[in-house]
Structure 1
Amino acid sequence: MTVRQSRGPGRPSASGPTPPSEDQILRQGLEAFVELGYDGASMRELARRLGVSHNFINDRYGSKQVFWRAVVDHALEEATGFLTAALESGDDEERLTAIVRRFYQQAVRKPRLNQLMLEESHCRSERLDYVFDRYVAPLIAAIEPSVRRLVAAGRLPDTPMYLLYSAVIGPAAALTRRPMVERLGWPSDPDEAELTAIADDLARLALNGLLGHPPSRHAPRSDLPK
């Protein structure tokens, strides 16, 4: 699903070394768009942060909008693949449990991605359309049959999809506010085990409310992102 509308190799800064790799460019682009917002991320400021000439983004991507899409694709494709893999096996409850757990695993490890998604959710825009049509809608469509069967079986409340979405997204949104949660006890420099525990505890809380009971505390860890 990657958009690669490049126009050329781009040019390094006249006073600097060879420009960073594509991966570095797109990761730094994500940081810039999260910190500055789309409108606040001028082409000049983006180029400054990337350490390239002010024409670099136009030369390589064609426009700021296309660069933003490349940044989003780079950030979301791996995350989406990790989430949708949870839908490949198990019964409906196991699939819902797995996808919620994986979503929170992504949230605690990659807060910048969640921050970008939340920022773009605040108002109607072409960027919101892009994220929703290419990533959110296909994921919702993939999990919706399981949700409907769980509702029919009385395992989930019969509520609109937007409420179920909000019930899952809300806790993850709170974890992107790191300065706040740090003051409430977020561990200092958490390691992989601590991040896993945070994600699983959060999934347990959310799923307990949705399904009426938490998933097993001793669920397999083989689905953790690398």
Structure 2
Amino acid sequence: MTDGPQGEATESPTRWKFSPVQLDESEILRRGLDAFAELGYAATTMRELARRLGVSHNFITVRYGSKLSFWRAVVDYALAGAERERNQLLAEHRDDVERLRGVVIQLYRMSANAAEMNRLIADESTRDSSRLDYLHQRFIKPFWDSIEPALNGLMAAGHIPRVPTHILYFAIIGPALALAQNPIADRLDPVATPTAAQDRNSTADALSGLVLHGLLPPSGSETST
């Protein structure tokens, strides 16, 4: 409450709405990402978000406008810097092979170190929705546009097999999305150190190396034309 021009008490609406929130913006978005990744969009209710954030049930609507707007803010937060880092990497390499290797390695490391966003992308990729349109616009298309010229050059030179675009996408992106599947990985290899405690970059590099070996066979190997 503050005194108005005539000394009467008036409310400060903005302060009143947000003062109960004890979290900064990045923590709000991080908890939102955890919820969407764990439960999926449909099952992540406003009530559940409010419970995880420790706020009133109308907080998301007041602050972000809607659950969908909050989801988009979460995605923007999680993907911040990804395109800039990729562009810097591409600028370092002119050779198509090195460009493809660099971008794929970066993608797998990012996927291994951002399991929640990885899981969200994997889940949304199975549904035809405006959310998938948003992911495609913000992340998938920029990523694919960055490596498509290298892929086309390598196919034209006979270095990688000529296959439809979606097959190449599945070959590269599919294994990266699997890096979020720690529970099944732990069951497949129960004697190994639990995946969550492993060096994530080492795991990512082992998988990207395997995928790249398949895409770019050693010199002298036959490729499909």
TM-score under structure 2 normalisation?
0.83
Equivalent position SS for 2:22 = coil
Cross-structure match for 2:70 = 67
The correspondence of residues 98-113 of structure 1 with structure 2, limited to 5 A, is: 98-113=102-117
What CA distance in whole angstroms lies between the structure 2 residues aligned with 1:155 and 1:86? 22
Equivalent position SS for 1:26 = helix
1:87 aligned to 2:90? yes
Q: Is the 8 A contact 2:100 2:150 kept in 1?
A: yes
Calculate percent identity across the aligned residue pairs: 45
Q: Is the 8 A contact 1:12 1:53 kept in 2?
A: no
What CA distance in whole angstroms lies between the structure 1 residues aligned with 2:170 and 2:56? 41
Cross-structure match for 2:135 = 131
- Specify whether residues 213 and 83 from structure 1 end up closer, same or farther in structure 2 by C-alpha distance, changes over 3 A only: farther
From 132, 148, 152, the equivalent of 1:144 is 148
- Specify whether residues 63 and 111 from structure 1 end up closer, same or farther in structure 2 by C-alpha distance, changes over 3 A only: same
From 12, 31, 36, the equivalent of 1:33 is 36
**Which blocks of at least 5 consecutive residues in structure 2 are unaligned?**
1-13, 220-225
> CA shift at 1:12, angstroms?
4.6
What CA distance in whole angstroms lies between the structure 2 residues aligned with 1:38 and 1:45? 11
Equivalent position SS for 2:81 = helix
Bigger Cα Rg: 2
The correspondence of residues 1-226 of structure 1 with structure 2, limited to 5 A, is: 10-13=17-20, 18-90=21-93, 91-185=95-189, 187-188=193-194, 189-190=196-197, 194-213=199-218
- Specify whether residues 213 and 12 from structure 1 end up closer, same or farther in structure 2 by C-alpha distance, changes over 3 A only: farther
> CA shift at 1:107, angstroms?
1.6
Equivalenced residue count is 201
Equivalent position SS for 1:19 = coil
Cross-structure match for 1:224 = none
**Which blocks of at least 5 consecutive residues in structure 1 are unaligned?**
1-7, 215-226
Cross-structure match for 1:220 = none
What CA distance in whole angstroms lies between the structure 2 residues aligned with 1:76 and 1:213? 34
Specify the code of the residue in structure 1 equivalent to 2:193. P
Equivalent position SS for 1:204 = helix
> CA shift at 1:213, angstroms?
3.5
